[in-house]
Amino acid sequence: MSTKKKDEKPADEDAPQGGKKKFMIIGLVAALAIAAAAYFFVFSGSGEAEAEPAPEAGSVLAVEPVAINLAGGSYLKLGFTLQYTLAFDEGGGHGAPVQDGSKALDIAIGQFSGASLADVQNNREAMMAAFTEAVVHAYHDEVMDVYLTEYVTQ
């Protein structure tokens, strides 16, 4: 007579069944990881191909220095040069481009006029960065940079 019940299974019979489940789960996880990696490499791209190339430097236009009144009776004598892009110089199929510094001069007067002497002297880099950004935007990216030729305060 056996003391085992009919419903009981030996411990070694469960082992292969659990091993198969573990193997199937590991295989499924590995297949998903491979599929995700394949999707990433095939469909996502590097993103660098979509980035715009940096504009190439074209001609320059020197804007005559202008005296701008500051707060407190001081003034700033500001002269600068506009660096146009090569695409602007080539005209983009619209004929010969016209270089004009009047927008940039207007922005300079508007931005620096009434500023304190201390701001103009101590925050020159920040003020010029804001000025350059405004000029590039106003010229619709036809101007790529602004170079100082004169920056005198009194």
Predicted model pTM: 0.62
Please tell me whether residues 85 and 47 are part of one structural domain: no
In a domain, 21, yes or no: yes
Both tokens of 48, joined, read 């660098």
Please tell me whether residues 127 and 113 are part of one structural domain: yes
Mean pLDDT, residues 4-26 taken together: 62
In a domain, 6, yes or no: no
Residue 5 has pLDDT above 80, yes or no: no
Please tell me whether residues 66 and 91 are part of one structural domain: yes
For residue 118, what is the domain's CATH number? 3.30.479.30
DSSP string for residues in 83-150: EEEHHHHHGGGSSS-----HHHHHHHHHHHTT--HHHHHHSHHHHHHHHHHHHHHHTTTSEEEEEEEE
In a domain, 2, yes or no: no
Its domain, for residue 21, covers: 12-51
Q: Are the beta carbons of 35 and 28 closer than 8 angstroms? A: no
pLDDT at residue 97, rounded to an integer:
73
Please tell me whether residues 63 and 105 are part of one structural domain: yes
Both tokens of 109, joined, read 């007067």
Q: 132 or 24, which is more confident?
A: 132
Q: Which of 148, 146, 53, 59 is nearest to 98 (CA)?
A: 59
Mean pLDDT of the chain: 81
pLDDT tens digits along 74-121: 999 999 999 998 888 787 545 567 888 999 999 999 999 989 999 999
